[in-house]
């Protein structure tokens, strides 16, 4: 039973259980010649079962359409969780990072790299007992790592330096993106940004990796948080921490974070830097956020490399804020492997955010 439609999907209600699900409908005609993109995404979704990852519940198909029944997460995205709250503390941010790192440790244990870790792909799951947790979605760029990857893809603000440099990359590009998110969670703006809104300038800053914690925005943030962020945003991949090391860091695992309310300050900066006051594109008519992108939608996120931009810049004598699409496509799908057993859940007694324990 379809309870109500949106521009991109339907909210599906099950008559026998009363549960609701998100339904993605993919037009096969639009996949002609690109079937491997959808096959790759679905093969990965079949494998992953984790409390911090949005789950594929069922798949069905007809001659013309593919239907993906997904877990429905109603709490909005990561930024919504901050801007709509009355209180937001460093400890809340710590719990959010725990949820994200927990999902990444699981994926990386399966040799799966997500490649598009960003706030819009982290949705808030709200439980009947009032607790909540983050769930990672949108696996359109995800792939199995069997050797160095070279496709230049992702979202520029969160892209790792080794992707830009085209030196080959692996699982730790997700840790870099998580580091950018952690930085934003505590001050409301990204660590690397271009004053002129030019992608080339942004990439230069990312490659340089000069990390700063400017006053007054970071004056009341603990040194432990800054230490973890510095470990996550190491340009040297070997020096960059793993998802497991994030989980064991005192700022995440212990009580090294603070309870000072910084909701107003962070929300103000989020709206200034991310236009968070605008309506969400992927919201249903009742305000429920649903990630409806597929691998086909991700083709625009395979952007021109730094080397390509430099060559084009010399030819044109100018820079461009709009990146053209690159020609390289994501790698073909791998054969499905048995999923790891799902992790168990636990409630964080120190706050409203759950910390799922593996």
Q: What is the DSSP string of 344-357?
A: P----TTSSB----
315 falls within a domain: no
Please confirm whether the linkage preceding 216 is cis (ω < 30° from 0).
yes
Q: Which of 77, 80, 116, 348 is catalytic?
A: 116
Asked if the model's pLDDT at residue 20 lies above 80, the reply is yes
C-alpha span between 206 and 79 (Å, rounded):
23
Among the listed residues 229, 259, 10, the one whose alpha carbon sits nearest the alpha carbon of residue 101: 229
For residues 38 and 84, membership in a common domain is answered with: no
Q: Look up the CATH number of the domain holding residue 130.
A: 1.10.510.10
314 falls within a domain: no
User: Which has more confidence, 131 or 247?
Assistant: 247
What is residue 82's predicted lDDT score, i.e. its pLDDT?
A: 86
282 falls within a domain: no
213 falls within a domain: yes
Each residue's pLDDT tens digit, 282-338: 444 333 444 545 555 555 555 555 555 544 444 433 333 333 333 333 333 333 333
For residues 50 and 111, membership in a common domain is answered with: no
236 falls within a domain: yes
What is the residue-wise DSSP string for 196-236?
A: T--HHHHHHHHHHT-----TTTTTTS-HHHHHHHHHHT-SS
pLDDT above 90 covers a percentage of the chain that reads: 46
Contacts of 207 (CB under 8 A, 6+ apart): 161, 164, 165, 235, 306
For residues 102 and 216, membership in a common domain is answered with: yes
For residues 151 and 15, membership in a common domain is answered with: no
Work out the pLDDT band at 261, boundaries 50, 70, 90: confident
- SS3 for 288-338 is CECCCCCHHHHHHHCECCHHHHHHHHHHHCCCCCCCCECCCCCCCCCCCCC
- 57 phi, psi to nearest 5 deg: -90, -45
Q: Look at the chain and report how many structural domains it folds into.
A: 2
Each residue's pLDDT tens digit, 57-95: 999 989 888 888 889 888 888 888 888 888 889 999 999
For residues 162 and 223, membership in a common domain is answered with: yes
Q: In terms of C-beta distances under 8 Å and separation of at least 24 residues, what long-range contacts does 21-24 make, across chains too?
A: 21/57, 21/69, 21/70, 21/71, 21/72, 22/69, 22/70, 22/71, 22/72, 22/73, 22/290, 22/292, 23/67, 23/68, 23/69, 23/70, 24/67, 24/68, 24/70, 24/292, 24/294
Work out the pLDDT band at 21, boundaries 50, 70, 90: confident
Of 12, 39, 72, the position where a domain reaches its end is: 72
Overall pTM > 0.85: no
Three-state DSSP state, 339: coil
Q: Which domain holds residue 55?
A: 2-72
Q: Residue 222 has which token pair?
A: 């603990």
For residues 186 and 138, membership in a common domain is answered with: yes
C-alpha span between 182 and 96 (Å, rounded):
9
C-alpha span between 236 and 242 (Å, rounded):
13
240 falls within a domain: yes
Of 274, 304, 323, the position where a domain reaches its end is: 274
182 falls within a domain: yes
Strand order in the sheet with 20-27: 2-5, 10-13, 20-27, 65-71, 56-61
For residues 256 and 187, membership in a common domain is answered with: yes
Is 174 among the catalytic positions?
A: no
352 falls within a domain: no
Work out the pLDDT band at 36, boundaries 50, 70, 90: confident
Q: Residue 143 has which token pair?
A: 């792939």
Work out the pLDDT band at 19, boundaries 50, 70, 90: confident
Q: Look up the CATH number of the domain holding residue 22.
A: 3.30.200.20
For residues 85 and 178, membership in a common domain is answered with: yes
Asked if the model's pLDDT at residue 236 lies above 90, the reply is yes
What is the residue-wise DSSP string for 25-79?
A: EEEGGGGTT-HHHHHHHHHHHHH---TTBPPEEEEEE-SSEEEEEEE---S-BHH
For residues 58 and 105, membership in a common domain is answered with: no
């Amino acid at each position: 039973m379809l309870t109500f439609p949106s521009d991109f999907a339907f909210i599906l209600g099950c008559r026998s259980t009363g549960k609701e699900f998100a339904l993605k409908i993919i037009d096969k005609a639009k996949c002609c010649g690109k079937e491997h993109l959808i096959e790759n995404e679905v093969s990965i979704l079949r494998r992953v079962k984790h409390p911090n990852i949005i789950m594929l519940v069922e798949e069905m198909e007809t001659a013309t359409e593919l239907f993906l029944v997904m877990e429905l997460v109603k709490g909005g995205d990561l930024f919504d969780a901050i801007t709509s709250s009355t209180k937001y503390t460093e400890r809340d941010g710590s719990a959010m990072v725990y949820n994200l790192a927990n999902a990444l440790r699981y994926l990386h244990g399966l040799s799966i790299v997500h490649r598009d870790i960003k706030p819009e792909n982290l949705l808030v799951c709200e439980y009947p007992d009032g607790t909540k947790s983050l769930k990672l979605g949108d696996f359109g760029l995800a792939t199995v790592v069997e050797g160095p990857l070279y496709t230049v893809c992702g979202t520029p603000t969160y892209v790792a330096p080794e992707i830009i440099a085209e030196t080959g990359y692996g699982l730790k590009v997700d840790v870099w993106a998580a580091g950018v998110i952690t930085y934003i969670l505590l001050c409301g703006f990204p660590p690397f940004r271009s004053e002129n809104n030019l992608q080339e300038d942004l990439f230069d800053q990312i490659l340089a990796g000069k990390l700063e914690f400017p006053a007054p925005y970071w004056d009341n943030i603990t040194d432990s948080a800054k230490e973890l962020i510095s470990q996550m945003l190491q340009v040297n991949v070997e020096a960059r921490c793993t998802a497991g090391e994030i989980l064991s860091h005192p700022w995440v695992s212990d009580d090294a974070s603070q309870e000072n309310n910084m909701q107003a300050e962070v929300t103000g900066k989020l709206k200034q830097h991310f236009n968070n006051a605008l309506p969400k594109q992927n919201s249903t008519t009742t305000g429920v956020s649903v990630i409806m992108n597929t691998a086909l939608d991700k083709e625009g996120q395979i952007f021109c490399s730094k080397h390509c931009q430099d060559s084009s810049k010399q030819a044109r004598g100018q820079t461009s804020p709009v990146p053209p699409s690159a020609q390289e496509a994501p790698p073909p799908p791998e054969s499905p492997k048995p999923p790891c057993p799902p992790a168990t859940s636990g409630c964080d007694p120190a706050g409203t955010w759950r910390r799922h324990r593996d």
